[in-house]
Structure 1
Amino acid sequence: MSKVYILHENDEWTIHLEKRLQQLDVPYETWHLAEGHIDLSQEPPEGIFYNRMSASSHTRNHRFAPEYAAAVIDWLESYGRTVFNGSRALSYEVSKVKQYTRLVRYGINTPKTAVAVGKEQLIEAAKQFGITPFITKHNRAGKGLGVQLFHSIEALTQYVEGPDFEEPVDGITLIQQYIESPAHFITRAEFIGGKFVYAVRVDTSEGFELCPADACQIGDQFCPVGEQPAMKFEILPMPKPDLIPKFEAFLAGSGIDVAGIEFIMDADGHAYAYDVNTNTNYNADAEKAYGTYGMLELATFLKKALNK
């Protein structure tokens, strides 16, 4: 029997999709790809496959999960199986450099970025960058992990040469123009089947870790007693609707079916896209207030594809 197969490395991030597939009576199976084996001469099962591999898998001790997922997806595609967020999408998930170079081709602004390998080269790249303040980030990351803000080369040098320097898993560190949002928020535009679903406003006043999943929620323990905490995630009208067709064209041209694209607006209202997340998650509280549910939309999309 044909079914939906979910390729992933984190059970916590598949629970809500599984519940929606059960709700819609969709047969499915999960493949946890932190480790495993395949016989390339054996034909894969019938069905459709949805890849949810994450660039941050190494933070869960699944260092080689993306590499193994790439091998599995190549095997599936070689037999003509339908893979949503297939091999091309996975290559964007694990490389911000690839994201930025591709976004620019579709007329989408990105922050000025430099690429460096090695501590000395990182400092030298910062000296030549010509813009302060700037941030560093890892080429393969997730949830804003590894992001640091610097106001001077001296501060960067102290960090790089100190004990707290965080080595990127692929060796590549990015230096990037710091775009300051006057209202301290970013926007994440969600797409399913390559089409816009909604935009979520994310409050960034508490830092760079921007995962919208329920597991990443920040509690209200720091809120004054008796005060209603502000919503960290809130679905609102798309603040830059002219970006929607550009984002959709980028996704279609890059083999990406499901994604959340994050962008930030500066004081002059200029938008800069800085992250394409093909392992996108959704926030239950924000969706309940808005009345649209990403995992239900995704499960419906997968059901229609399976029925074809």
Structure 2
Amino acid sequence: MTHRPPLAIIYEHPDWFKLLFAALDRRNVAYQPIQFQDHHFDPENAEAPAPLVLSRLAMSSFLRQDEHPIFYAQSLYASWELSGARVINGTQALAIDASKARQMALIQSLGLDIPATRVVHRQADIIAAAKTLRFPVIVKVNIGGSGAGVSFYETLEELTQAVANGSTPKSIDSVLLVQEYVPARGQQVVRMETLNGNFLYAISLNTDGGTFDLCPADVCLIDKPRITVREYKPDQDAIRAAEAIARAAKLDIGGIEFMIDDRDGARRFYDINGLSNFVADPLNVLGWDPHEKLVDYLIQAIEKIREKAA
């Protein structure tokens, strides 16, 4: 058996994890960075690159490459887990992260509010589904990222024309969500970050409504000047809800997003995101760097694995 570091980090985006790598280097944590590009595995020799693997797979990877690793990762992580490795945000979390339909079902099962939603797998069924909802509606791809694959329709006639001319969104897994458009109170959405099933911090993202792309990381905000990011102090009900969602989703690290429906004041949860790039400019927005908390968590996980192996 070749010598392995205690930690491997597998990722797709070339720039998003420099701050994490820098934090690990400062703390002298040995790790192996692995990019999905050029990666392959042998199911007959499925030893993981490390006993602990951190998944940093972005659902938006399909926007950057046609041969994206989203479905590949499902098989890869299963293979590593079967070999005895622990994968942070592994197969169970990935199954939720890669399906907005499953996210809606999970959130609703916890007794929490979601946008009124219909799920279809054929373009031809969009109209029938939409007729059971209040307009305006959005059509959303099941696997998306950075706001991709979300279209807004004010009327049934507008949606019918879009279906007829083939301009409605197309999901890479052929599953679509038709949802009532939720007018967010104050044009504000909230993203609550969790770590190990516990609340970490929250931010509010305010937009003029001109985009569904509300990624709060540095590389995401470069071309989105209409979005402002601030720290948000959620109430205990919101914290308990986010923690319940994260634990039910087997999400080791990730974000839970909600908005307040301006029509009735309901807190509607609409997204579970397994990739936390963390907020841009955290020292100014939060007063502390969440990467340090993540490194603490990784060090503790490494120590637990070592104790179990001893």
Greater RCO between the two (CA within 8 Å, min separation 6)? 1
Alignment of 1:187-266 (within 5 A): 187-205=190-208, 206-218=210-222, 232-238=228-234, 240-266=235-261
Q: Does residue 112 of the first structure (1) align with residue 120 of the second (2)?
A: no
- Detail structure 1 runs of 4+ shifted over 6 Å in the superposition: none
How far apart are the structure 2 equivalents of 1:132 and 1:143?
A: 24
Is residue 304 from structure 1 mapped to residue 300 from structure 2 by the alignment? yes
1:143, 1:171 → 2: CA distance?
A: 19
Give the partner amino acid of 1:3: P
Q: Which residue of 2 aligns with 1:26?
A: 29
Contact 1:107 / 1:246 at 8 angstroms: preserved in 2? Answer: no
Q: Which digits, 9 at most, give the CA deviation of each residue in 1:240-285, with x for residues without a partner?
A: 4302223212322321110101100022431000000001221232
SS at match of 2:185: coil
**1:85-104 Cα shifts (integer Å, max 9, x gaps):** 01000111110011111111
1:45 Cα deviation after fit: 3.7
Report the equivalent of 1:227: none
Relative distance call for 1:182 and 1:221 in structure 2 (3 A) is: closer
2:139, 2:152 within 8 Å by CA — same for their partners in 1?
A: yes
Cα distance between partner residues in 2 of 1:63 and 1:131: 37
Q: Find out whether 1:73 has 2:68 as its counterpart.
A: no
Q: Percent identity?
A: 30
Q: Distance in 1 between matches of 2:14 and 2:175?
A: 28
Q: 1:114 to 1:63 in 2, by over 3 A?
A: farther
1:139 aligns with 2:135: no
Q: 1:226 maps to what in 2?
A: none
Verify the 8 A CA contact 1:89 1:255 in the aligned structure 2. yes
Aligned-partner SS, 1:160: helix
Amino acid at match of 2:43: L
Provide the C-alpha distance between the structure 2 equivalents of 1:89 and 1:147, rounded to a whole number of angstroms: 23
> 1:124 pairs with 128, 138, 151, which one?
128
8 A Cα contact 2:89 2:274, kept in partner? yes
Contact 1:7 1:69 in 2 (8 A): no
- Which residue of the other structure, out of 171, 174, 177, is the alignment partner of 1:174? 177
2: CA distance, partners of 1:164 / 1:218: 28
Question: Which residue of structure 1 aligns with residue 268 of structure 2?
Answer: 272
Structure 1 portions without partners, runs of 5+: 223-230
2:39 is aligned, of 36, 39, 44, to: 36
Question: Which one-letter code corresponds to 1:191 in the other structure?
Answer: T
Determine if contact 1:44/1:76 at 8 Å carries over to the other structure: yes
The letter of the residue matching 1:149 is F
Paired with 2:225 and 2:214, the residues of 1 have a C-alpha distance of 18
**Is the contact made by 1:4 and 1:27 (CA closer than 8 Å) also made in structure 2?**
yes
Matched residue pairs, number?
298
Does the 8 Å contact 1:259/1:277 carry over to 2? yes
Q: CA deviation at 1:40?
A: 2.0
Distance 2:42 2:273 in 1: 30
- Measure the CA separation in 1 of the matches of 2:231 and 2:33: 29
RMSD: 1.9
| TM-score, length of structure 1 as denominator length | 0.90
CA distance in 1, matches of 2:68, 2:116: 30
- Structure 2 stretches lacking a partner, 5+ long: 305-310
CA distance in 2, matches of 1:277, 1:62: 21
1:27 deviation in Å? 0.8
- Secondary structure of the residue aligned to 1:161 is helix
Give how far 1:24 is off.
1.2
The SS at the match of 2:246 is helix
Partner of 2:182: helix, strand, or coil? coil
CA distance in 1: counterparts of 2:219 and 2:66, whole angstroms: 18
1:35–1:68 CA contact under 8 A, matched in 2: no
Tell me whether 1:88 sits opposite 2:76 in the alignment: no
**TM-score, with structure 2 as normaliser:** 0.90
Corresponding residue to 1:293 among 285, 289, 295 = 289
Is residue 3 of structure 1 aligned with residue 6 of structure 2?
Answer: yes
Cα pair 2:202 2:233 within 8 Å, conserved: yes
